[in-house]
Structure 1
């Protein structure tokens, strides 16, 4: 199992084997003092063995708990894993919820003959397991479990169904039958008989509301939280990297890091790795990138887009064995991470979750009215009318009347019936409901029926606990399965290059704060990502605050589809494994693709099928 993922252990592999219990710890320690090392923590007098792949952010809460040094070695500073274990022992059932940071851990209690597994609330580290008669296997990656004798390789068609419906595969769905994934904030306990108990140890409070007298207080608080999130993740060896674009999310991260260093805090210097476009100048963001980089004296490694067209170079477009999810922009990620590894970067910073934390087009006109911001609400409605090409009356109905009625009648049968009859954007003919509404026409209806996807996605079922529409929509954004997969993917691809992964926007404290905020303070049509921008006052250069804004790199993908990778894509659609297994109609898929290439049809969501086809051909 360990040999399948040796890239996760550049700082060594340690084993604990005692009787029927074996644990392999592969260490990718990015800290300057060894406190992030992954190694077994043994407490023999209590019959405990603990191992964690983790970065603990609230070490100070655990420091007074006298951790037992590993293997009897006296050390001045305890490792994150040692501190985590003692928090769990002292805090009991509340222990997992009191751990802040990115983590996945396993705890073997020999006295109780119980195995405890847990994963952090934002799903930044992975943990999989398989329960068999007389044996339990657990690992960071699915491929480790597949390496064990006697583990079958059977495709989970329900996971495939989710993937073909907009790549919204929910946490817990694994592409191999018989293997399970811990969900974010889940603790699983397995006893000696192989019986499993599961609980969610943390969830944001849907009743929590923040009401500050001064609007500026929201921005100040976000600034404090983002600064602390960056500071925690900067507990790393020199240097660290940032995937810097011209958008709000990564520029906020880079600016806070640069500001901390200017303030004299002992944080490592940062290098930027940026995508630059010459053939497609409409995608180029160098102006904003260098506004930030020059201000903070941050060297920039430019990755030319011309070397990163999707699906052109096979070596840059390979999925992982665990699942078919990978980015259409993976060539850029691979080239930037290879450069970072050559520069001996310890941790790469991303701003991936910033879009859903502070953007996502969550409108809250009712909230503005209820707070007495009548002029602001009217301006927002006018902007929404222009953006959507709706009449003022239609915009008023969609963005004010319907949401207010939904909030007033939240949870009632009448509301559900009304919402079904007045779905935004519906035509008179009935629409498909649930995840299958995202499937393209070439996906086989028979397969989707066989896959047995539910009518209500799990994240939407969880969001039903939120009584108001705006925070409910924000919850769906923050915990979107697509976003969760992106977090897991980013951690995995950075580990493949021997680099740690950090996303300050995926800090639990920030998520809790944003969900409790009035959503009209967070984002608006008039001022996109307004709260994040305002939080940067005094940190980011003034000229950058107003100019930053992400430009979509989609044109490079469309150029690949129509020209650069056209023949490769046709090859993927010929004698397709997806068609052979009954997932798609090959003739319909090719016809739709050719219409798009000729300009006779709009763009469509082809990537789920292409990524699945590549994965099936490589691993099945």
Structure 2
């Protein structure tokens, strides 16, 4: 059910939006890209076939419904496909793929570069001739000047492929934080790439099978950590990396940016930090308002989305358009009242959508198609519907609040883990290893005392084994529970493998490169590198682009991230208050009632639906899936989990949603494709 409450709908205590002038600049195109780079000589018709390239490109039509382009060089060494969603400068001047003046450099680009105007002037002064006002063309000319250091100079969200005909090599790049995805697949005689996996699967050189290691990771992290995907042979670019591919078939990955920032703001006072946070956030929102099409904000009524609305309203001379979602008959999951209140405070043009269990059931096939590989986060459901209704209203660009909770310690679970580490973990880790293992090992007196202690017992085990206690904010199956869900054959294949090395690799990096960082800073770094990039931002990109809507993420402006990564955790949560520092920064922007409102979180009533109206639907999807042919899971254990959830013995919804998405993914993408 879709409701428009109308422009300037007035709620209690409403006020007019603040007028301001702001300037559009350049061109923004959020798009779908794909292509190939061929190693073999003479040319292989399988890799460098134009109709195949066009077929790959057109699987991405939803990402770019406004225009399509394709380019291949004369010897079919490289070829690019492009689908265009035009946001700024809607003229044909920005058609892609695009080249430099002599056609020796070609690019296909997805995203927007906020500083391209600043970059363009010096490039023109050096003699580069522009044929358009696009940020895409600036990237091409900048590459001619700075070469492979190109991504370091760009401020924006992006994924691109660039071909240098003179050097016969290709560069692939993903933006610093990972707002835009990019995948690649080495194949016989070359390499394929695309914004989405489905475009790679459209190439006949690619076969489909499940990657067993990625499957094990998915069970734990509810998404696959880069560079893995659930498709064997298809890889995902890590955020902040550049991949150089030469004609010999050599692939070289370079990290051009990381969130490990030298120094800590030990001496800065709160006033100074509050001012800088607000300045950086205001600038991030301003930069992301470039658009020649209608834009708005996804509004929950919480601090992050409300800050987007409040700060955007200062920069506009018309009402901010806002969108909220709720669930029929589920007041515990509805934030509609709070969103209406904030929309009224700032005189917004507010819209709502209300979902039912039937909406979930009818949506699943589309979710599975657009996700490519499962993202077992039920926020995908309301986000997908919100994006569809956003597009239906005529709005093509939205700002979202992802990234704030991670940087400013907004999750209650963060505080719990941080407090437990401070009170128990740190003293234990200070002990000599033999003493620690004797004290914390299984069967010890302390372990018996804390046998029912949940997280405390888990912390003891980690301390005894020299392991990291915090794995991330969205962990499903791990440890004994993960082994229990696997079939005997799968347990034998994994040989004790438990995905811990994904966490350890990231944790060890910041511990080694910034030893002065505290436990909370390392938690945030882990979340930025793993859960935020490969789950939260993936869901935002895939669900909004499924409807042809562009999402922008001001809280993840890299300059704001670099600043917050220098702030000690205790300064962010003074007095045990989540987001203490952010709330202080926004004290003159948002009313006290918004700043002090208890965090609810963006979710969906899947637990209730899976125990009620949709139980049979979930049971059938999981227990009759064709993935059973792989003998990966113990279905007696799975059946017991379903029974426990239905009868209210234990809430198994999060784990069942993981298995549900995996099952539907396999049926659609593996068994379904094989049957075609």
Q: Which moved more, 1:120-129 or 1:475-484?
A: 475-484
1:257–1:270 Cα contact (<8 Å) kept: yes
Contact 2:70 2:97 in 1 (8 A): yes
Flag the 1:308–1:571 CA change in 2: closer, same or farther, 3 A: closer
Q: Is the 8 A contact 1:363 1:519 kept in 2?
A: no
Q: Does 1:296 align with 2:346?
A: yes
Any residues of structure 2 matched to 1:40-51 within 5 Å, and which? 40-45=97-102, 47-51=104-108
Say whether 1:607 aligns with 2:657: yes
Deviations 1:87-125 (A, max 9, x none): 333334432112111001111111111111111011111
Tell whether the 8 Å contact from 1:212 to 1:218 is kept in structure 2 after alignment: no
Shift of 1:548: 6.0
Q: Distance in 2 between matches of 1:191 and 1:454?
A: 32
* Match of residue 118 from structure 2: 61
User: Who is 2:640 aligned against?
Assistant: 591
Structure 1 residue 201, shift from structure 2 partner: 0.7
Please give the alpha-carbon distance, in whole angstroms, between the structure 1 residues aligned to 2:175 and 2:242.
9
Matched, 1:558 2:607: yes
Offset from partner CA, 1:157-199 (integer Å, 9 cap, x none) = 2111111113152111022222222111111111111111111
Distance 2:268 2:371 in 1: 52
Indicate if the aligned counterparts of 1:361 and 1:524 stay in contact, CA closer than 8 A. no
The answer to whether the 8 Å contact 1:316/1:331 transfers is no
Q: Could you tell which deviates more after superposition, 442-451 or 571-580?
A: 442-451
Q: Give the superposition deviation at 1:37.
A: 4.6
Q: Does 1:439 align with 2:475?
A: no
Local SS of the residue matching 2:160: strand
Give the superposition deviation at 1:497. Answer: 0.9
The alpha carbon displacement at 1:34 in A equals 5.8
Give, in whole Å, the separation in 2 of the partners of 1:593 and 1:520.
41
Contact 1:115 1:190 in 2 (8 A): yes
The farther-off stretch of 139-148 and 463-472 is: 463-472
Indicate which of 439, 453, 457 corresponds to 1:426. 457
Q: Could you tell me which of 402, 406, 430 is aligned with 1:352?
A: 402
User: Does residue 116 in structure 1 map to residue 161 in structure 2?
Assistant: no
Change (3 A) 1:521 1:86: farther
Following superposition, the deviation at residue 61 of structure 1 comes to 3.3
2:626 paired residue number: 577
Deviation, structure 1 residue 35: 11
Give the alignment of 1:69-108 within 5 angstroms: 74-75=131-132, 78-108=133-163
Q: d(CA) in 2 for partners of 1:319 and 1:138?
A: 18
Q: Give 1:52 deviation, angstroms.
A: 1.3
User: Could you tell me which of 504, 519, 522 is aligned with 1:469?
Assistant: 519
**Could you tell me which residue of structure 1 aligns to residue 19 of structure 2?**
none
Q: Which moved further from structure 2: 542-551 or 243-252?
A: 542-551
Aligned residues of 2:119 and 2:138 also touching (Cα < 8 A): yes
What displacement does 1:7 show? 1.6
- CA distance in 2 between counterparts of 1:416 and 1:46 reads 64
Task: State the distance in 2 between where 1:6 and 1:211 align.
Answer: 49
Aligned length: 581
Which of 306, 321, 324 in structure 2 is aligned with 1:271? 321
Superposed CA deviations along residues 436-491 of structure 1, whole A, max 9, x for unmatched, are 42737323364255255554214334333342322111211222336522212221
Pairwise CA distance, 1:612:
0.3
2:336 maps to 286
Structure 2: runs of 5 or more not aligned: 1-55, 448-454, 472-476, 671-676
CA 1:319–1:353 in structure 2 vs 1: closer, same or farther (change >3 Å)? farther
- Structure 1 CA distance for aligned equivalents of residues 489 and 575 of structure 2: 40
TM-score, scaled to structure 1? 0.84
> What is the 5 A alignment of 1:144-163?
144-163=199-218
Q: Deviations over 1:126-157 (max 9, x none)?
A: 22222234322221111111111222112212
8 Å Cα contact 2:323-2:352 kept in structure 1: yes
Determine the C-alpha separation between the residues in 1 that align with 2:341 and 2:499. Answer: 47
Match of 1:392? none
The answer to whether the Cα contact below 8 Å between 1:8 and 1:498 also exists between their aligned partners in 2 is yes
Taking the aligned partners of 2:641 and 2:350, their CA distance within structure 1 comes to 41
After superposition, the Cα gap between the structure-2 partners of 1:47 and 1:492, relative to the gap in structure 1 and judged at 3 Å, is same
1:315-374 alpha-carbon deviations (Å, 9 max, x no partner): 56544362122532433223222211111112122212222122255999xxxxxxxxxx
**1:456 equivalent in alignment to 2:501:** yes
Contact 1:107–1:117 (Cα < 8 Å) also in 2: yes
CA contact (8 A) 2:105 2:140 kept: no
Match of 1:506 in 2: 556
In structure 2, do the counterparts of structure 1 residues 577 and 523 end up closer, same or farther at CA, with 3 Å as the change threshold?
farther
- Could you report, residue by residue, the CA deviation over 1:248-274 in whole angstroms, capped at 9, with x for unpaired residues? 22222222212222xx5xxx7532211
The answer on 1:139 being equivalent to 2:194 is yes
Name the TM-score, length of structure 2 as normaliser. 0.78
Contact 1:51-1:105 at 8 Å conserved across structures: yes
Deviates more, 1:97-106 or 1:210-219: 210-219
Per-residue deviation at 1:403? 3.0
Please say which of residues 40-49 and 346-355 is displaced more in the overlay.
40-49
Q: Specify the alignment match of 1:23 in structure 2.
A: 80
Whole-angstrom distance in 2 between the partners of 1:602 and 1:215: 41
Q: CA deviation at 1:579?
A: 3.2
Trace 1:206-225 onto structure 2 (pairs within 5 A).
206-225=261-280
Distance 2:403 2:523 in 1: 15
Counterpart of 2:15? none
CA shift for structure 1 position 213? 3.8
Contact 1:312 1:565 in 2 (8 A): no
Please report how far the alpha carbon of residue 303 of structure 1 lies from its aligned counterpart in structure 2 after TM superposition.
1.4
Q: Secondary structure of 2:290's match? A: coil
**Residue ranges of structure 1 left out of the alignment (5+ in a row):** 365-383, 389-394
Quick check: 2:222–2:377 contact (8 Å CA) kept in 1? no
- Partners of 1:104 and 1:584 in 2: how far apart? 36
